[in-house]
Chains A and B, each alone.
Chain A
């Protein structure tokens, strides 16, 4: 029970105010419940970051190409607990020594379907790890040796559900969500028992006949096939006992003519009671979405001033190009603003939500919007730095043309898709109080697709992320100056993380099939007198 006690102690450390990850572990996907991905560690700082050196790397060499996606890509953020790293790709879990990168164990799963598009990582409760397979089995593994404890089926891959989420452990709840947009299935979020895997509660992302929200759909058939997937882990406020979740786009994806209305609660941010799954409030950044703009991007929680008054807030930079700031107690809208072009909207409604322009929905002959194909950003984790007050997101500016390919009054599946477009990759630093960009860095190379580097900020006055051409980069978070880089060979493919171990601060990032760990060279830790005081 020792390890379990330690983990619970570690989790308890981050509960009050849930300000930032505990320094000697990284126990959840985001490092803490807030989703800020801001670490208080300062051993690596803006003055010595130039002395960062590779400590070790671990390359996946025993998997080979994965069905439909090619070479393995690490999209998970590893957990680090008691000196052991736990990370995943679809169908696979590894444990490594966090100090040396030595493999401790490997677990492999043989899927019977589902999409191998990515896996975000693991949840942990005591000695138990939780893992979602592409074919939506929910597994519990023993953290000591990777042996399977039990498996539970969450959704049917034959209906085109697939699962990529890192389960999120909140109290004695393991929260699991689903993906799946090819066959018009409905989305849901489940709370499962950490010991048995049984369902504690289930929240449907679309209403059933007669339920609240049903008036935002034309008929029961549309809402029961209306999508709204829950494929990214949410965040949690322990004092309010609310979980915050982003929901995916409605279905059919690009063809909205059979689902007229706002299509609640798809493409929304929702606040649910952690113990019951009951909806407390919602905000919908993409009413009646027709551009595949899943609104699952991390709802980041932080406290601070807004218009001179203290607020408990939630911020999100969404695929549709909108930065949203809400009061997370009530859901009140504080800021709704495009961080890139958003000519698909006509204005903002009384709830602070965008009003989509029907003329900019996908058309048979093509419709051009100045939000690029795939959206302005995607799942890769953003970061909020409380010291700069800036919200950071890797994003794309540009244009996209979308087409309606199923003009049936009752379309099915995607019903359309994207054509030509321009994608100009940027790192955007957003002032949360206004939604304005404090600064942005235009990456000179290539473009971002739908998977690209996440972001970590630290109290060492550093921002770590990557560019499209395979560099891991440290920026000055206040001004956007580049301070350090390392050419990893492939684009950074997960959210960088950091932890303290044996007196050294480690920086960890994945690029393709390889995990890289960095720490300062020993001489960098000896203060050097300034020759020009």
Chain B
């Protein structure tokens, strides 16, 4: 049953998002900070230097009422503020800070210079970006498990294919912990990526051709042989043997507890 090998061919969907929008990334590539910002229609990106200056003004003057990260305290949340979201370069935030809203209890801050007001606006836009733009999100600490328990799990479940002194030597130095965790959970990579699969195709005359799959579906199979030559056949005209290099990973997916996953991560990160 070739369906046993299905898992090896399937690509990963790491895209979590409302309906079908580009995935939240880790700050680079597709779904990264810039492309996600563009997708969201967030307007010009915040000026990091201005935001850093603005933070120094915000902290002593505004944070007491509006919260350390401008998410609100006794005074409103400014990250979700319609005024802030409609502002681009301080044209709305500046006058609001300078004049205040005396009827709502916010005093005027007439002593800020126009440049300082613009810097405060940029600080707020950075806070908006850190919330709205999931291309900026950073995973927190994934190394929470027990390394000895992870080593025992590794010895029981992974050792028949992998070696910590061979293919996995120094693996903990090659990847960030969260990347490492994601790679062992399902190594086939992101959508459109995936491990290239080896295949042997046997033709009706008995000739066998080994190579790497380009595409396989219910109707056709195509591959590139070891000499780099492209071949394609109707599925029902040839016999296909696939080498499923991810069968072990697929089996473990049905077995992992979250603790197993965290323990294994804690162990693998020690393989510096």
Contact with B along A408-449 (1 / 0, CB 8 A): 101011101111111111000000000000000011111111
Q: List 16 A-B contacts (CB under 8 A).
A: A68-B40, A160-B132, A182-B133, A183-B85, A231-B19, A294-B18, A364-B141, A366-B261, A367-B258, A405-B140, A418-B15, A418-B24, A420-B186, A421-B12, A423-B13, A446-B11
A249 within 8 A of B: yes
Question: In the complex, what residue of chain A is closest to B140 when comparing beta carbons?
Answer: A364
Chain B positions 238-264 with a Cβ under 8 Å from a chain A Cβ: 250, 253-254, 256, 258, 261-262
* Residues A368 and B14 in contact, CB atoms below 8 Å apart: no
* Residues B7 and A422 in contact, CB atoms below 8 Å apart: yes
* Residues A442 and B253 in contact, CB atoms below 8 Å apart: no
Chain B positions 219-238 with a Cβ under 8 Å from a chain A Cβ: 219
Q: A294 to B20: give the CA distance in the assembly, Å.
A: 11
User: How many cross-chain pairs have Cβ atoms below 8 Å apart between A and B?
Assistant: 244
* Residues B10 and A425 in contact, CB atoms below 8 Å apart: yes
* Residues B217 and A469 in contact, CB atoms below 8 Å apart: yes
B156 within 8 A of A: no
Select one of A225, A442, A473 contacting B3, CB under 8 A: A442
B139 within 8 A of A: yes
B109 within 8 A of A: no
A400 within 8 A of B: yes
* Residues B82 and A158 in contact, CB atoms below 8 Å apart: yes
Residue in B14, B20, B139, B215 with the greatest tally of chain A CB atoms within 10 Å: B20
Residue in B15, B22, B35, B69 with the greatest tally of chain A CB atoms within 10 Å: B15
Shortest C-beta distance, B75 to chain A (Å), equals 13
Given known pairs A184-B80, A368-B261, the reply for A413 and B10 (CB within 8 Å) is: no
Q: Chain B interface (Cβ within 8 Å of chain A)?
A: 3, 6-7, 9-24, 35-36, 38-41, 43, 69, 71-72, 79-80, 82, 85-86, 128, 131-134, 137-145, 178, 181-183, 185-186, 188, 191, 215-219, 250, 253-254, 256, 258, 261-262, 265
Given known pairs A68-B22, A469-B217, the reply for A423 and B38 (CB within 8 Å) is: no
Contacts of A451 in B (CB 8 A): 19-20
Select one of A292, A398, A404 contacting B140, CB under 8 A: A404
Contact with B along A373-390 (1 / 0, CB 8 A): 110001100000000000
- State which of A11-19, A30-38, A113-121 sits at the interface with chain B: A113-121
A181 within 8 A of B: yes
A305 within 8 A of B: no
Question: In the complex, what residue of chain A is closest to B79 when comparing beta carbons?
Answer: A412
* Residues B22 and A485 in contact, CB atoms below 8 Å apart: no
Chain A positions 353-377 with a Cβ under 8 Å from a chain B Cβ: 359, 363-368, 370, 372-374
Select one of A160, A291, A292, A401 contacting B182, CB under 8 A: A401
* Residues A413 and B131 in contact, CB atoms below 8 Å apart: yes
Q: A147 to B17: give the CA distance in the assembly, Å.
A: 35
Select one of B134, B137, B181, B217 contacting A443, CB under 8 A: B217
Given known pairs A69-B22, A414-B24, A473-B218, the reply for A373 and B13 (CB within 8 Å) is: yes
Contacts of B138 in A (CB 8 A): 405
Contacts of B186 in A (CB 8 A): 399, 420-422
A195 within 8 A of B: no
Q: A422 to B29: give the CA distance in the assembly, Å.
A: 20
* Residues B217 and A450 in contact, CB atoms below 8 Å apart: no
Instruction: Taking A229-B18, A450-B17 as given, write out 10 further A-B residue pairs in contact, using a Cβ cutoff of 8 Å, ordered by the A residue number.
Output: A294-B18, A296-B19, A364-B142, A365-B262, A373-B16, A398-B10, A412-B79, A419-B14, A450-B21, A471-B218
Q: A162 to B18: give the CA distance in the assembly, Å.
A: 11
* Residues B85 and A444 in contact, CB atoms below 8 Å apart: no
* Residues B39 and A422 in contact, CB atoms below 8 Å apart: no
Contacts of A91 in B (CB 8 A): none
Contacts of B128 in A (CB 8 A): 183
A171 within 8 A of B: no
* Residues B139 and A403 in contact, CB atoms below 8 Å apart: yes
Contacts of A412 in B (CB 8 A): 71, 79-80, 131
Question: In the complex, what residue of chain A is closest to B185 when comparing beta carbons?
Answer: A420
Select one of A134, A417, A471 contacting B24, CB under 8 A: A417
Contacts of A525 in B (CB 8 A): none
* Residues A417 and B134 in contact, CB atoms below 8 Å apart: yes
Question: In the complex, what residue of chain A is closest to B31 when comparing beta carbons?
Answer: A417
Q: A446 to B13: give the CA distance in the assembly, Å.
A: 10
Shortest C-beta distance, A64 to chain B (Å), equals 15
Q: A50 to B18: give the CA distance in the assembly, Å.
A: 38
Q: A523 to B194: give the CA distance in the assembly, Å.
A: 45
Q: A306 to B85: give the CA distance in the assembly, Å.
A: 51
A226 within 8 A of B: no
Chain A positions 230-263 with a Cβ under 8 Å from a chain B Cβ: 231, 248-249, 253-254
Shortest C-beta distance, B235 to chain A (Å), equals 9
* Residues A115 and B21 in contact, CB atoms below 8 Å apart: yes
* Residues A449 and B132 in contact, CB atoms below 8 Å apart: no
Interface size on A, residues (CB 8 A): 93
Shortest C-beta distance, A494 to chain B (Å), equals 12
A157 within 8 A of B: yes
* Residues B12 and A447 in contact, CB atoms below 8 Å apart: yes
Contacts of B7 in A (CB 8 A): 422, 424
* Residues A419 and B38 in contact, CB atoms below 8 Å apart: no
Shortest C-beta distance, A399 to chain B (Å), equals 5
Contacts of A162 in B (CB 8 A): 41
Q: A248 to B17: give the CA distance in the assembly, Å.
A: 11
Select one of A68, A181, A253, A420 contacting B14, CB under 8 A: A420
Select one of A67, A157, A378 contacting B20, CB under 8 A: A378
Q: A424 to B7: give the CA distance in the assembly, Å.
A: 7
* Residues A447 and B191 in contact, CB atoms below 8 Å apart: yes
Question: In the complex, what residue of chain A is closest to B5 when comparing beta carbons?
Answer: A444
Q: A406 to B138: give the CA distance in the assembly, Å.
A: 9
Shortest C-beta distance, A275 to chain B (Å), equals 29
A192 within 8 A of B: no
Shortest C-beta distance, B227 to chain A (Å), equals 25
* Residues A359 and B258 in contact, CB atoms below 8 Å apart: yes
Contacts of A283 in B (CB 8 A): none
Shortest C-beta distance, A321 to chain B (Å), equals 14
* Residues A156 and B82 in contact, CB atoms below 8 Å apart: yes
Q: A113 to B40: give the CA distance in the assembly, Å.
A: 8
* Residues B218 and A114 in contact, CB atoms below 8 Å apart: no
* Residues A292 and B39 in contact, CB atoms below 8 Å apart: no
Given known pairs A69-B22, A373-B16, A449-B13, the reply for A443 and B262 (CB within 8 Å) is: no
Shortest C-beta distance, B30 to chain A (Å), equals 10
Shortest C-beta distance, B141 to chain A (Å), equals 6
Residue in A164, A365, A406 with the greatest tally of chain B CB atoms within 10 Å: A365
* Residues B82 and A447 in contact, CB atoms below 8 Å apart: no
Residue in A111, A117, A182, A292 with the greatest tally of chain B CB atoms within 10 Å: A182
Question: In the complex, what residue of chain A is closest to B35 when comparing beta carbons?
Answer: A68
A328 within 8 A of B: no
A467 within 8 A of B: yes
* Residues B218 and A485 in contact, CB atoms below 8 Å apart: yes
Shortest C-beta distance, A230 to chain B (Å), equals 12
* Residues B19 and A164 in contact, CB atoms below 8 Å apart: yes
Q: A487 to B234: give the CA distance in the assembly, Å.
A: 13
* Residues A447 and B24 in contact, CB atoms below 8 Å apart: no
Q: 8 tightest CB-CB pairs across the interface, nearest first?
A: A68-B39, A418-B16, A420-B182, A450-B20, A451-B20, A113-B41, A413-B131, A417-B24
